Structure 1
Amino acid sequence: MNAPHPSKVAGIDSTVPAPAHTVASVATGTSPAARANPQNAPGALLQDRLAGWVSDLTTLHELTERLARTRALDEALRETLRAGAALVGARRGLVVLEPADGLGPDNMIGLGLARADLGHIETIPRSSLPYGRILDGLPGADDGIAEPDLLAEKGLDPRHREVAARLGYAASYTLPLVPEPPEPPEPPEPPKTSQPPDAPLTAGPGLRLGAAVWLYDEPAEPSERQRHLIGLYARYAAEHLARLLELERTRASMTTISEELLPSRLPRIPGVQLAARRRTSSYGGGDWYDALPLPDAALGLAVGSVTGAGPSAVAAMGRLRASLRAYAVMEGEDPVAVLSDLELLLRLTEPARSATALFGYCEPSLRKITLAGAGHSPPLLIGERRTEFVETSVSAPLGMLACWEAPSVEVHPEPGETVLLYTDGLLHRTGDPTDRAFARLHAAAAGVPQALRRDPGAIADHVLRTVLPEGAASSKGTSAADSAEDVVLLAARFE
């Protein structure tokens, strides 16, 4: 009878040697079926070995599936710690992220350890810690470092002994997180000359990302089987972490670039106080705001959004904002003309893209704003006696029609009132229908505490916290932090 072959599991190399515990079962011959019928011993022992192997692969498959569902780097690090603790039989641990290329981000995350506990561990000299030796690239640490009885080691650093006793751990197992090196390219055909061919290309070592440490409450160390399983899991985890690390770096770069394209500071104009708030999406969106001093002590206020996400949307946002600034300087007192020029430029230079925009010509001395909008949500007027949306004309976004034009409206805020401009991302991130999203925004603005109404920044913060609580899930099940929408708020309070 042919023995069944274990199925191939995604992310697991089925060609690796069997774990040690399966070999031991063959050597000792402890199978009940083998003892009952010695003639069938070889087949029964083989089935036992295969059953143990399949069980291990099934466990690894479930753990790697859970890891593959993580989308953020910190979440993946925590899942790696939890899975590793289950595989090596530990209760606590920590992972240190410190990429070897020095580009960061550096981080330390604990499992069953508070922030203060991690702080105590960080006071131990780095050279006396196994993860420190791994991160410093010292030899002999590639296969993991086991410390089965810390307190019994004679050469243990005194500070390490003190921290271990304080936190209540007696043993540790440390493993490097190193993804597999890339496949070497095939060498070219050697030239048909008498000269010897060049040496074949070889792949360098994989990029070390960090190290994971699991802590035991009593003297212990993982068995050969456990080391085999955690080694397989760590190899897959390092690959997944490397992808998330690259994504995290890309998002950080996108955030930096988009922030550099926005005003570094808001102008100070007598009679009005300004504040801006922004939440960047994980994909890099094209929302922007601007506040530009204009002649005659006037002020140009603008918010807008470019369709799309990623580097192209950020670049288009920068071009559009710069163009709007130029048009505002030339004819800012006529917001309709400013947006008409912007629409013509967009249609001629980027015909495949559309954008929404709201521009206001603000005269603080008169407490007056002349507004024109292109497919944008209406501003919100927040005061002690009223909280209402400004009635603006319904108009298409820029780039959607052959010729854009819409009438402007005038807003006359009372002393102490705040005009809040915002992008559509504030509404979209709620996941609610449009009418409910507007109702939520209105309720948040009406509920601004009296003590915060003198500060436009505090008003914007309160609205943002109330409409989009950190980590809250929308009605569609999407976290606000994971949304593809940027959010921009620009608040102007009149004195």
Structure 2
Amino acid sequence: MSAPHPPKVAGIDSAVPPPPHTVAPTPAAPGTGPSPDTAPPVKNTPAPTGPAPGTLLQDRLAGWVSDLTTLHELTERLSRTDALEPALEELLRAGSALVGARRGLVVLEPADEGGSGPRTSLGLGLGRADLGHLETVPRGSQPYGPLLDTGTGAAEIVHADLFAEDGLDPRHREVAARLGYAASYALPLTAGSAGRLGAAVWLYDEPAEPDEHHRHLIGLYVRHAAEHLALLVEVERTRARAATLAEELLPSRLPRVAGVQLGTRHRTGPRGGGDWYDALPLPDAALGLSVGSVTGSGPSAVAAMGRLRASLRAYAVMEGEDPVAVLSDLELLLRLTEPARSATALFAYCEPALRKITLAGAGHSPPLLIGERRTEFAETSVSAPLGMLACWEAPSVEIQAEAGETVLLYTDGLLHRTGDAMDRAFARLHAAAASIPRTLRRDPGAIADHVLRTVLPDGLDTADSEEDVVLLAARFD
């Protein structure tokens, strides 16, 4: 009777073949069996030569447990990534280990008609120049190209020996020789909820391809990874839309006003914040400058910022020469339309011909005066943010700028991104303004760039903060 067949596990046929040998009978005890005269001759049976059935089953089970453990560890590492680029890097590293390749490439393309998804190429062991060479190969001849075409339905693309293939695109052959790979294995990235996301390809230095067992494992892993990537792609798409909306609510260009030059730098945080800036020509050759920040982040904060900025422009046209009145009206509007939200704001009424600035602030950081003979913060009155008190009011302050001096307005996000306490952040900002080279002081945009590079040496994109950053520089002739 043959041994029972255990059920299949993970798609692998687990049937154990019957043993090829017969077990020798157990000799009878003395005095109980037939006599030697009548006993039949004992037939010599060869000793077992193969492993026992239990050993085969244990080996098979050990292999399944090892595979499941490996997949669990790899998928757990992937699930800990909370941004798209680290997730793609983890996908390439794990896939490289599963298929035995040294290098890899992942390509994401938006599947929606609007193309609002991320369009990303990222390599493992490949530099930007290498990726550029691969992009010169015609799309249909790329190692992953057919997988990106809608409707192909290809489950994988295998080039086990590129240079032995007939009909290989000459440009593909040239790029493969230049980059030093001789084989490739590509899989589509498809999620049930998002559809086609892109493709991943791994490159071999020598002719090779993964065996059936490793294809099965990488297929399981990639299916899980695609679902995780789909969520991160949606997060990136939402952030991009929020950032675009915030940018559209800010001035598309700065006005030209005689006697003053303007420059600005602005970066929206990853969640879309509520910081704004504005520069508005006013009657009598005057200029209104404003910066501010709405509490919160996301679409609701962006929408509130847009409403406040538009309202402030209207109040500035009507009574801009009185900044206190402008902010009082803005505070009343905020309490009526956004009762659960507060905001900081600073409005400056500038008369370029006189180099005179009248400003009022509501919980906002003081502007910075930058000139040849002085670098100092303007002395503004301490006041609460808008929406914090039953009635906001604070006195205005007049500043007399000298020829060639620059007034730098900014939001608190610049200070928060430093990661320092506020007093140290203010000191860092002051030191950055004081160190501006003389050759840059004639250009307000260059002044803003120098301040950013000095205050945030790691850059806006790598600073560990979700704060918006706004700088508005006005240089008086």
Could you tell me the TM-score, scaled by structure 2's length?
Answer: 0.87
Q: Is the 2:281–2:287 Cα contact (8 Å) retained in structure 1?
A: yes
CA distance in 2, matches of 1:123, 1:27: 53
| 1:175 aligned partner | 187
- The alpha carbon displacement at 1:130 in A equals 4.1
Q: Is the 1:91–1:112 Cα contact (8 Å) retained in structure 2?
A: yes
| 1:250 aligned partner | 238
- The alpha carbon displacement at 1:41 in A equals 3.9
Q: Is the 1:286–1:306 Cα contact (8 Å) retained in structure 2?
A: yes
| 2:134 aligned partner | 121
Q: Is the 2:8–2:14 Cα contact (8 Å) retained in structure 1?
A: no
Residue identity in the other structure for 1:446: A
Mapping of 1:344-493 within 5 angstroms? 344-470=332-458, 479-480=462-463, 483-493=465-475
Distance change (3 Å), C-alpha of 1:293 and 1:235: same
Distance change (3 Å), C-alpha of 1:163 and 1:23: farther
- The alpha carbon displacement at 1:126 in A equals 1.9
Residue identity in the other structure for 2:370: I
CA distance in 2, matches of 1:128, 1:28: 49
Moved more, 210-219 or 151-160: 151-160
Which runs of 5 or more residues in structure 1 are unaligned?
1-14, 30-36, 183-205, 474-478
- The alpha carbon displacement at 1:63 in A equals 2.0
Q: Secondary structure at the match of 2:321?
A: coil
Q: Is the 1:19–1:224 Cα contact (8 Å) retained in structure 2?
A: no
CA distance in 1, matches of 2:180, 2:80: 33
Moved more, 357-366 or 151-160: 151-160
Q: Residue deviations 1:316-371, cap 9 Å, x none?
A: 00110111111111111111111111111111221111000001111111111111
Identity in percent = 79
Residue identity in the other structure for 1:486: D
| 2:145 aligned partner | 132
Distance change (3 Å), C-alpha of 1:347 and 1:19: same
| 2:170 aligned partner | 158
- The alpha carbon displacement at 1:19 in A equals 7.0
The equivalent position to 1:79 in structure 2, one of 85, 90, 99, is: 90
Q: Does 1:65 align with 2:69?
A: no
Moved more, 48-57 or 225-234: 48-57
The equivalent position to 1:278 in structure 2, one of 253, 260, 266, is: 266
Q: Residue deviations 1:180-225, cap 9 Å, x none?
A: x25xxxxxxxxxxxxxxxxxxxxxxx51111111000001101222
Q: Is the 2:441–2:447 Cα contact (8 Å) retained in structure 1?
A: yes
Residue identity in the other structure for 1:242: A
Q: Does 1:98 align with 2:86?
A: no
Q: Residue deviations 1:70-91, cap 9 Å, x none?
A: 3332332222112211111101
CA distance in 2, matches of 1:410, 1:439: 23
| 1:260 aligned partner | 248
Distance change (3 Å), C-alpha of 1:28 and 1:363: farther
- The alpha carbon displacement at 1:48 in A equals 3.0
Residue identity in the other structure for 2:59: D
Mapping of 1:18-33 within 5 angstroms? 18=10
Could you tell me the TM-score, scaled by structure 1's length?
Answer: 0.84
CA distance in 1, matches of 2:245, 2:8: 45
Moved more, 131-140 or 331-340: 131-140
Q: Is the 2:134–2:142 Cα contact (8 Å) retained in structure 1?
A: no
Moved more, 44-53 or 56-65: 44-53
Q: Is the 2:432–2:450 Cα contact (8 Å) retained in structure 1?
A: yes
CA distance in 2, matches of 1:74, 1:16: 37
CA distance in 2, matches of 1:47, 1:60: 20
Distance change (3 Å), C-alpha of 1:375 and 1:458: same
CA distance in 1, matches of 2:342, 2:283: 30
CA distance in 2, matches of 1:28, 1:490: 83
Distance change (3 Å), C-alpha of 1:363 and 1:146: same
Q: Is the 2:18–2:53 Cα contact (8 Å) retained in structure 1?
A: no
Distance change (3 Å), C-alpha of 1:65 and 1:384: farther
- The alpha carbon displacement at 1:239 in A equals 1.0
Q: Is the 1:90–1:214 Cα contact (8 Å) retained in structure 2?
A: yes
Q: Is the 1:93–1:213 Cα contact (8 Å) retained in structure 2?
A: yes
Residue identity in the other structure for 1:48: D
CA distance in 2, matches of 1:280, 1:253: 11
Distance change (3 Å), C-alpha of 1:139 and 1:355: closer
Q: Secondary structure at the match of 1:469?
A: coil
Residue identity in the other structure for 2:473: A
CA distance in 2, matches of 1:105, 1:268: 36
CA distance in 2, matches of 1:47, 1:385: 84
Q: Residue deviations 1:128-180, cap 9 Å, x none?
A: 234111111354612x121111111122222222221221111100000001x
Q: Is the 1:336–1:406 Cα contact (8 Å) retained in structure 2?
A: yes
Root-mean-square deviation over aligned CA pairs: 2.4
CA distance in 1, matches of 2:395, 2:123: 58
Q: Secondary structure at the match of 1:492?
A: strand
Q: Residue deviations 1:26-66, cap 9 Å, x none?
A: 6799xxxxxxx999944444333333223222222222232
| 2:307 aligned partner | 319
Q: Which has the larger radius of gyration?
A: 2
CA distance in 2, matches of 1:100, 1:433: 45
CA distance in 2, matches of 1:28, 1:395: 89
Q: Does 1:52 align with 2:48?
A: no
Residue identity in the other structure for 1:77: L
Residue identity in the other structure for 1:153: E
Moved more, 462-471 or 42-51: 42-51
Moved more, 394-403 or 445-454: 445-454
Residue identity in the other structure for 2:169: D
CA distance in 1, matches of 2:252, 2:110: 31
- The alpha carbon displacement at 1:264 in A equals 1.1
CA distance in 2, matches of 1:212, 1:174: 6
